[in-house]
């Protein structure tokens, strides 16, 4: 337990300090935090033994909500856009979750994928509304009423995102040790017994799904703001696969894992983009194999010295 | 704790922001970041673009670089997705210190990168993207385009079709389902309505980008028998479409208008029949009737072929224009600044009104940062010298003639295009010769 | 005589060409401890599965405390007050023993607040007490996966008891327990059941256990009850000796 | 829309559905036996296509007769399936059976990322096609419309042959029956002395070969570009999941549904043709959560 807190705190301090030393990194770090938030959502589902290859749906949905609102006359304010867009993704998760919690394992993963691909296709098809494959520009909104230049906007967005990520991570950590969170592990290990406790595994999973949708939505809303552009690619299945990748890379053992994974992912991708611009996918693929075969508990597990995912709770 | 840290961070950031811009001494090297597709279907343009850039920068450096400063190209993969592209773009500027960026191929990327370039205050050359809206709907101080736009391309295509096949009655369109496919059709359609209001549009098909199969579309077109089939598709999509259409006799049945076919001609080889209207997003063609025998062209085609085993296609010419334009702008800016290394703002200012020779003609960058580029169209012909079709019955449209005037919007300009343009005196015509 | 708590009437079910239930009927009163005996494949576990909603009969009905539960889900039936343990223990094997019990406790109490830590449940002491009754207090912090089968069987029962059911089905509660410990285990279980006034129905192979702890015995054969009666009557019945216990054993 | 147009649309749909079937049935077979959903399946399709196209182009360059393309397709498919498929199974997948499903999925996801780039490095990014086999077979005229014999007759025939061949193989040969036994009850099959390691390896090779065969056949009709695999994988997921994972005949029906649905959509609602596979999948799974052709099994307690 204490080691986890130390890991989390060190990560946090590094994140607080790094942008001050290297201003160009703020956006990349913010992007990493956003992906970390989505991967945190994946982590929750992983606790229940479920994997979604479609969380790009929630990520992209809130990003487009931000894009549409920021382009419209109203809602050009970060403090308004982020909660509204996140809630919108939560609403979608609430709807999709109604039937998706009936499915398990491969079907759970594939249905998520199918639904996100429907959304992806719609974003591409409805050219006149969504801008098609080229996406939509997101004009920079005000932050707490202030119109900021790029650099200070990015600067503040990073720290806001960091604060939100810390809050989200702590809340999720709390949720995972609550009866509902522990019941998720029960879904993974024995759903029959859960039913024979009189507990609806669907309800338990629904709560988790909703939370994970909200987290992905939060990440998507912020990424739309900092990159200033949204494209359907945010909903593509490979992107959703990356969230799972990040969750496993970081390790599903603790809430700091996804953020550790997301940072690592950005670092690898950054280096690969410089040194192997034509084969950076392969570099990531090899990295993923190495993690799965030699450190299944992910980076987080490596740091904590644990061998198996799920040992740390 | 967090609050105090934030306060400290804010102070530090303000300190960073307050740093004065570095004095404009000659740098050791000029880093040029190039956004191009290195993965995904559009790498059929991106990789030739990169290969050409390597060649051109080698040449520039062999001559001592720009104003004596060697140039170092750095590549960014556009295929990684827009959001990733934006952060890579920033990294190249902020971390690797690029002073000039080439961004990009896709119009979507250009739209996304233009505001980023403004924010970063970096010279951004839109080296290949075509959307006309970028300078018509927005003002971008730091971005320029060293080639024509979709409006000029579609106008020239329309004029050429009106010239060689004035009496067609029905048309169908099969475009890729993304901004380029949609926008190019909107423009073409607007002009068509003005020039030939009685033409019937029998089908508007927008198959998915990267579709592997057009059988159903071809069946539909075979049944509808339109006089003209327009497709602004490119790359693998165009190859597949032409191949499947040719196999099923559709190319004989309708006149095909393929404004981007120049980039597919060599690959399509014997599949491409005679009589298809083709273009190459500008006047780019390695067999350009006026420039094919110039020393520069011959040397480029030879070097490019040695390096890649194929003939150069239009993105390589666009890359040439971007590199040449950059060199000329730096020279012009430096001359204006009394021989000193120019600031980015001076370079941008030098671009306005800049005129320079490309491999296939002359490019003029207008005051709105839009390039004027001639447009070459032709009809395919099979000749013994090449195992693929070549242009015949060519028409060269001056950039000024077919480009929407400054301050006007292309869609509106197309809607009032007049018949006179079809046979304007400034249009040169050529037939194929060895 | 106390009131009837469970009544299964003429349950029928075929699967895979086997008549798993062929008119199975049983009436259970609140103060009873019923042992179900019979050869393998007689339909004993199927009967439990039918009564707890795991599978649905083709015809027949199950009435619990005056309510028809035939079509209800295991979840709904559990909530009405029927608990069960399994032939193969069904536990959350990656969790600790205490977490298994606490989840049952949370289910019973409906305590699902995300602000509550499971391991700080206000009624955790009750669970420690329960664990003590089944003699497994020392295993509370162990991960279930690491425990031997016999202990898991008891934990499985403890989890069912944590729900405080009115009626509990136990599928071979002593099957993983060494023979010299069986009586001890059954003694503690019986104490726990008595303390909660829980009705119990258990499948059992050990006739000594049946003789000592059952108030009534039902002999299963071919998907239905072939015989029922007091342990004395049944265990001395010649037919039972032959089919269930095996002559000469 | 006149009725003959529906008929014509159906012809396109059958050709398209047949191709998807070839890829999806391999995915389904692998899942049925190994219990692994192979995300890299689309890469086998793509590599099969590239190898076949390169082989056909090379053969054409040497002046060999065009009909040789057809045995070359088969050879390319088997080569890709056995070599690459075999390596993936033996070196990677074999080490994670019995681990969490998520990890198995991710291993194949990693393989997908690596193969995507490998394919780019080996075959380049230039669109590649080898249409000689398609043109060699010529066209047929139906209601005044020309169809290539290749798409209208050959591909559906190959799909049919694969369907019938797989059925016979699984039911009539001892190896096939061993595969079925593993599909139905892994533990029981192993208890009966079936060598699961060998079954897994061969099944994976067969599945990968089928995907590669689909790719090989498509190489004559379509341009090969980077990324063709990632589109195909989602489509074959949709088919396999609609049918019920592991169902071979079901995959044929689902592939046909998706093929027909798509081509009819091109006529009635061209805006929605890309949505058809997903909509069919979601609709089917809403009604039958385990897929059209799967019966629900309960866990023994």
Q: Which residues 6+ apart lie within 8 Å of B59 measured at CB? A: none
Tell me, yes or no, whether B93 lies in a domain. yes
How sure is the predictor about D285, in pLDDT bands with cuts at 50, 70 and 90?
A: confident
Q: What are phi and psi of C104, to 5 degrees?
A: -60, -40
For residue range A197-233, list pLDDT tens digits in order: 999 999 999 999 999 999 999 999 999 998 888 989 8
Do A166 and A174 contact (CB within 8 A), yes or no?
no
pLDDT at A1: 57
Considering only CA atoms, which of B203, A125, B227, B249 is closest in space to residue D5? B203
Q: Which whole number is the average pLDDT over D24-52?
A: 92
Where residue A135 falls (left for φ over 0; alpha for ψ -120 to 50; beta otherwise) is: left
Tell me, yes or no, whether A312 lies in a domain. no
Tokens of D154: 């050959």
Q: Give the C-alpha separation, D27 to D38, whole Å.
A: 7
Considering only CA atoms, which of B270, B246, B198, B232 is closest in space to residue B130? B232
Q: For the beta carbon of residue A167, count every other beta carbon within 10 angstroms.
A: 10
How sure is the predictor about A310, in pLDDT bands with cuts at 50, 70 and 90?
A: very low
Residue C153 is inside which H or E element, if any? helix C149-162
**Chain D residues touching A111 at Cβ < 8 A:** 241, 281-282, 285
Q: Which whole number is the average pLDDT over C129-144?
A: 89
Number of domains comprising chain A? 1
Which CATH code fits C1-81+166-249? 3.40.50.300
Q: Give the C-alpha separation, B121 to B245, whole Å.
A: 48
Q: Are B85 and B104 members of one domain?
A: yes
Strands A229-230 and B30-36, bridge-based pairing: unpaired
Q: Give the C-alpha separation, B273 to B246, whole Å.
A: 8
Q: Which whole number is the average pLDDT over D232-239?
A: 86
Put simply, whether C73 touches D (Cβ < 8 Å) is no
DSSP letters spanning B126-137: E-S---THHHHH
How sure is the predictor about B125, in pLDDT bands with cuts at 50, 70 and 90?
A: very high
Q: Residue C84 forms beta bridges with which residues?
A: C169
Q: Give the C-alpha separation, D236 to B212, whole Å.
A: 14
Q: Are B258 and B395 members of one domain?
A: yes
Q: What are phi and psi of C28, to 5 degrees?
A: -120, 135
How sure is the predictor about B342, in pLDDT bands with cuts at 50, 70 and 90?
A: very high
pLDDT at B305: 94
Q: Which of B333, B356, B372 is the last residue of a domain?
A: B372
Number of domains comprising chain B? 2
Mean of the per-residue pLDDT values for chain C?
A: 88
Q: Give the C-alpha separation, C46 to C38, whole Å.
A: 12
Q: Give the C-alpha separation, B148 to B156, whole Å.
A: 11
Closest approach of B314 to chain A, Cα-based (Å): 22
pLDDT surpassing 70 at residue C224 = yes
Q: Give the C-alpha separation, A104 to D218, whole Å.
A: 34
DSSP letters spanning D24-59: HHHHHHHHHHH----TTHHHHHHHHHHHHHHHHHHH
pLDDT at C174: 84
CA distances from B81 to A232, B165, C138, D125 (A): 9, 41, 56, 17
Rg of the Cα atoms in chain A: 19
Length of chain D: 301
For residue range A126-172, list pLDDT tens digits in order: 888 888 888 888 888 999 888 888 888 988 999 999 999 999 999 99
Q: Give the C-alpha separation, C127 to C148, whole Å.
A: 21
Q: Are B134 and B167 members of one domain?
A: no
Tokens of D148: 């290539």
Tell me, yes or no, whether A57 lies in a domain. yes
Domain boundaries, chain D: 22-227
Put simply, whether D267 touches B (Cβ < 8 Å) is yes
Considering only CA atoms, which of D242, D186, D299 is closest in space to residue D27? D242
Pick the residue from chain C with its C-alpha nearest to A179: C118
Lowest-confidence region among A163-167, C111-115, C158-162, D46-50: C111-115
Inter-chain CB proximity D298 and C86 less than 8 Å: no
Tell me, yes or no, whether B96 lies in a domain. yes
Tokens of A225: 């703001």
Pick the residue from chain A with its C-alpha nearest to B105: A134
How sure is the predictor about D292, in pLDDT bands with cuts at 50, 70 and 90?
A: confident
Our CA dihedral for B164, B168, B171, B175, rounded to 10 degrees, sits at 0
D12 compared with B6, residue with greater pLDDT: D12
Beta-carbon pairs below 8 A across chains C and D = 10
By residue range, what is the domain housing residue B240? 151-280+374-430
Q: Where do the DSSP E strands lie in A168-302?
A: 229-230
Q: Give the C-alpha separation, D81 to D45, whole Å.
A: 10
By residue range, what is the domain housing residue A42? 2-304
Residue B402 is inside which H or E element, if any? helix B399-402
Strands C82-84 and D139-142, bridge-based pairing: unpaired
Q: Residue C201 forms beta bridges with which residues?
A: C34, C169
Q: Give the C-alpha separation, B256 to B227, whole Å.
A: 9
Residue C8 is inside which H or E element, if any? strand C4-15
Q: Which whole number is the average pLDDT over B317-339?
A: 93
* Percentage of chain A exceeding pLDDT 90: 48
ipTM here: 0.83
Tokens of D16: 């398209």
| DSSP class of B208 | P
For chains B and D, having 3+ Cβ pairs within 8 Å is answered yes
Considering only CA atoms, which of A185, A125, A171, A220 is closest in space to residue A313? A185
pLDDT at A309: 41
Considering only CA atoms, which of C181, C180, C137, C179 is closest in space to residue C158? C137
Q: Give the C-alpha separation, B155 to B188, whole Å.
A: 7
Do B49 and B319 contact (CB within 8 A), yes or no?
yes
Which chains, if any, share at least 3 CB pairs under 8 A with chain C?
Answer: A, D
Write down the pTM of the prediction.
0.86
Put simply, whether D13 touches B (Cβ < 8 Å) is yes
Q: Give the C-alpha separation, B287 to B313, whole Å.
A: 11
Mutate which of D117, D126, D226, D283 to test chain A, going by most A C-beta atoms within 10 A? D117
Q: Are B138 and B175 members of one domain?
A: no
Q: Give the C-alpha separation, A313 to B102, whole Å.
A: 49
Tell me, yes or no, whether B15 lies in a domain. no
Pick the residue from chain D with its C-alpha nearest to A125: D271
Q: For the beta carbon of residue A290, count every other beta carbon within 10 angstroms.
A: 12
Q: Are B328 and B270 members of one domain?
A: no
pLDDT at A148: 87
Tokens of A129: 């509304």
How sure is the predictor about D32, in pLDDT bands with cuts at 50, 70 and 90?
A: confident
Q: Give the C-alpha separation, B44 to B22, whole Å.
A: 39
**Chain A residues touching B120 at Cβ < 8 A:** 150
pLDDT at B2: 43
Q: Give the C-alpha separation, A269 to A279, whole Å.
A: 10
Q: Are B308 and B367 members of one domain?
A: yes
Q: Which whole number is the average pLDDT over C191-198?
A: 88
Q: Give the C-alpha separation, B42 to B47, whole Å.
A: 9
pLDDT at A133: 80
pLDDT at A164: 96
pLDDT at A311: 42
How sure is the predictor about D143, in pLDDT bands with cuts at 50, 70 and 90?
A: confident
Q: Which residues of B touch D (CB under 8 A)?
A: 39-41, 43-44, 46-47, 205-208, 210, 212-213, 215-217, 219-220, 222-223, 235-237, 239-240, 243-244, 247-250, 264, 267, 271, 310
pLDDT at B232: 94
Selection from A14-28, B286-300, C129-143 with the highest mean pLDDT: B286-300
Helices (H), B276-352: 295-308, 314-336, 344-351
Half-sphere exposure of D229 (CA within 13 A, CB side): 30
Q: Are B174 and B268 members of one domain?
A: yes
Beta-carbon pairs below 8 A across chains A and D = 121
How sure is the predictor about B16, in pLDDT bands with cuts at 50, 70 and 90?
A: very low
pLDDT at D50: 95
pLDDT at B24: 59
Handedness of CA D144, D145, D146, D152 (dihedral sign): negative
């Amino acid at each position: 337990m204490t080691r986890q807190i130390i890991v989390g705190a060190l990560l946090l301090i590094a994140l607080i300090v790094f942008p001050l030393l290297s201003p160009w990194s703020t956006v990349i770090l913010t992007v990493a935090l956003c992906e970390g938030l989505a991967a945190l959502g994946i982590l929750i589902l992983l606790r229940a033994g479920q994997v979604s290859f479609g969380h790009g749906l929630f990520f992209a949905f809130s990003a487009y909500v931000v894009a549409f609102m920021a382009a419209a006359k109203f809602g050009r304010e970060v403090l308004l856009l982020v909660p509204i867009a996140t809630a919108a993704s939560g609403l979608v998760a609430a709807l999709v979750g109604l039937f998706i919690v009936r499915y398990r394992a491969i079907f759970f993963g594939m249905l998520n994928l199918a639904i996100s691909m429907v959304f992806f296709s719609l974003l591409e098809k409805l050219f006149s509304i969504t801008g098609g494959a080229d996406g939509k520009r997101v004009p920079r909104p005000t932050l707490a009423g202030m119109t900021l230049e790029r650099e200070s906007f990015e600067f503040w967005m990073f720290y806001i995102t960091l604060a939100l990520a810390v809050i989200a991570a702590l809340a999720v950590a709390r949720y995972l040790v609550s009866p509902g969170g522990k019941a998720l592990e029960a879904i993974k290990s024995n759903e029959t017994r859960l039913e024979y406790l009189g507990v609806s595994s669907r309800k338990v999973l629904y709560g988790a799904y909703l939370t994970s949708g909200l987290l992905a939505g939060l990440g998507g809303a912020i990424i739309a703001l900092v990159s200033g552009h949204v494209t359907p690619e945010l909903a593509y299945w490979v992107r959703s696969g990356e969230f799972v990748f990040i969750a496993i890379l970081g390790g599903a053992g603790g809430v700091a894992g996804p953020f550790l994974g997301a940072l690592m992912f950005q670092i690898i991708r950054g280096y690969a983009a410089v040194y192997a611009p034509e084969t950076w996918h392969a570099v990531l693929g090899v990295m993923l194999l190495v993690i799965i075969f030699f450190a299944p508990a992910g980076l987080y597990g490596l740091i904590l010295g644990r061998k198996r995912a799920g040992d740390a709770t | 704790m967090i609050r105090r840290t934030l306060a400290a961070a804010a102070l530090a950031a303000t300190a960073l922001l307050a740093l004065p811009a570095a004095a404009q001494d000659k740098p050791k090297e000029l880093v040029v970041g190039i956004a191009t597709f290195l993965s995904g279907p559009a790498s059929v343009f991106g990789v030739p673009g990169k290969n050409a850039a390597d060649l051109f920068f080698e040449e520039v450096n062999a001559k001592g670089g720009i104003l004596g400063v060697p140039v170092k190209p750095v590549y960014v993969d556009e295929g990684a997705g827009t959001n990733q592209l934006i952060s890579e773009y920033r990294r190249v500027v902020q971390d690797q210190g690029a002073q000039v960026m080439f961004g990009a191929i896709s119009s979507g990327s250009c739209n996304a990168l233009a505001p980023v370039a403004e924010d970063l205050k970096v010279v951004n050359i839109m080296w290949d993207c075509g959307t006309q809206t970028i300078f018509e709907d927005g003002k971008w101080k730091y971005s320029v385009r060293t080639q024509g736009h979709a409006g000029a391309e579609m106008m020239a295509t329309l004029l050429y079709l009106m010239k060689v096949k004035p009496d067609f009655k029905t048309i169908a369109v099969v475009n890729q389902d993304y901004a380029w496919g949609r926008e190019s059709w909107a423009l073409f359609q607007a002009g068509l309505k003005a020039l030939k209001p009685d033409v019937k549009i029998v089908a508007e098909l927008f198959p998915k980008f990267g579709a592997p199969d057009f059988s159903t579309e071809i069946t539909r077109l075979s049944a509808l028998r339109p006089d003209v089939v327009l497709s602004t598709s490119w790359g693998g999509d165009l190859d597949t479409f032409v191949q499947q259409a040719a196999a099923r006799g559709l190319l004989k049945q309708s006149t095909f208008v393929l404004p981007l076919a120049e980039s597919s001609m060599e690959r399509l080889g014997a599949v491409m029949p005679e009589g298809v209207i083709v273009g190459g997003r500008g006047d780019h063609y390695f067999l350009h009737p006026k420039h094919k025998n110039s020393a520069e062209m011959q040397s480029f085609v030879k070097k490019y072929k040695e390096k890649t085993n194929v003939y150069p296609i239009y993105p390589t010419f666009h890359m040439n224009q971007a590199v040449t334009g950059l060199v000329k702008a730096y020279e012009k800016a430096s001359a204006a600044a009394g021989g000193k290394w120019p600031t980015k703002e001076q370079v941008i200012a030098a671009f306005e009104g800049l005129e320079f020779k490309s491999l296939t003609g002359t490019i003029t960058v207008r005051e709105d940062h839009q390039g004027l580029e001639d447009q070459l169209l032709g009809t395919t012909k099979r000749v013994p010298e090449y195992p693929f079709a070549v242009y015949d019955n060519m028409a060269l449209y001056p950039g000024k003639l077919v480009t929407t005037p400054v301050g006007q919007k292309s869609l509106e300009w197309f809607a009032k295009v007049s018949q006179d343009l079809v046979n304007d005196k400034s249009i040169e015509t050529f037939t194929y010769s060895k | 005589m106390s009131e009837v708590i469970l009544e299964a009437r003429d349950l029928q079910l075929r699967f895979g060409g086997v008549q798993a239930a062929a008119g199975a009927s049983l009436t259970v009163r609140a103060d009873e401890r019923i042992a179900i005996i019979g050869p393998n494949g007689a339909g004993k576990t199927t009967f439990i599965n039918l009564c707890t909603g795991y599978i649905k009969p083709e015809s027949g009905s199950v009435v619990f405390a005056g309510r028809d539960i035939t079509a209800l889900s295991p979840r709904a039936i559990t909530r009405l007050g029927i608990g069960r343990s399994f032939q193969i223990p069904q536990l959350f094997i990656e969790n600790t023993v205490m977490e298994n019990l606490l989840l049952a406790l949370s289910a019973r109490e409906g305590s699902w607040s995300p602000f509550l830590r499971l391991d700080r449940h206000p009624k955790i002491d009750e669970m420690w007490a329960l664990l003590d009754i089944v003699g497994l207090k020392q295993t509370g912090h162990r991960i279930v996966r690491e425990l031997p089968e016999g202990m898991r069987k008891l934990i499985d029962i403890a989890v069912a008891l944590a729900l405080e059911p009115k009626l509990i089905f136990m599928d071979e509660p002593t099957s993983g327990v060494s023979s010299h410990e069986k009586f001890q285990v059954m003694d503690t279980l019986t104490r726990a059941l008595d303390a909660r006034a829980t009705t119990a129905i258990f499948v059992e192979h050990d006739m000594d256990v049946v003789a000592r702890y059952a108030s009534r015995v039902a002999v299963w054969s071919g998907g239905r009850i072939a015989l029922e009666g007091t342990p004395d009557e049944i265990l001395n019945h010649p037919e039972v000796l032959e089919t269930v216990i095996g002559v000469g054993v | 829309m006149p009725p003959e147009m529906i008929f014509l649309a159906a012809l396109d749909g059958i050709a398209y559905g047949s191709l998807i079937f070839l890829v999806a049935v391999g995915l389904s077979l692998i899942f049925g036996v190994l219990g692994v959903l192979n995300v890299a399946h689309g890469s086998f399709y793509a590599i099969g296509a590239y190898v076949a196209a390169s082989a056909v182009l090379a053969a054409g360059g040497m002046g060999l007769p065009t009909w040789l393309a057809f045995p070359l397709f088969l050879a390319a498919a088997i080569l890709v399936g056995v070599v690459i498929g075999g390596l993936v199974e033996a070196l990677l997948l074999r080490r994670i059976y019995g681990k969490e499903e998520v990890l198995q999925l991710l291993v194949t996801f990693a393989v997908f990322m690596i193969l995507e780039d490998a394919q780019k490095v080996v075959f380049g990014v230039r669109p590649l096609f080898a249409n000689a086999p398609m043109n060699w077979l010529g066209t047929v005229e139906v209601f005044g419309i020309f169809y290539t014999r290749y798409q209208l007759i050959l591909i559906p025939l190959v799909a049919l042959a694969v369907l019938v061949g797989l059925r016979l193989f699984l039911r009539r040969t001892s190896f096939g029956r061993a595969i079925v036994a593993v599909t139905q009850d892994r533990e029981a099959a192993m208890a009966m002395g079936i060598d699961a390691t060998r079954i897994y390896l061969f099944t994976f090779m067969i599945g990968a070969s089928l995907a590669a065969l689909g790719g090989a056949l498509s190489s004559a009709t379509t341009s090969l570009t980077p990324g063709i695999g990632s589109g195909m994988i989602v489509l074959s997921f949709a088919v396999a999941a609609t049918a019920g994972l592991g169902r071979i005949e079901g995959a044929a029906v689902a592939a046909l549904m998706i093929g027909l649905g798509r081509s009819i959509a091109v006529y009635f609602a061209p805006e929605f043709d890309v949505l058809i596979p997903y909509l069919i999948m979601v609709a089917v799974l809403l009604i039958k959560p385990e897929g059209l052709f799967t019966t629900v099994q309960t866990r023994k307690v």
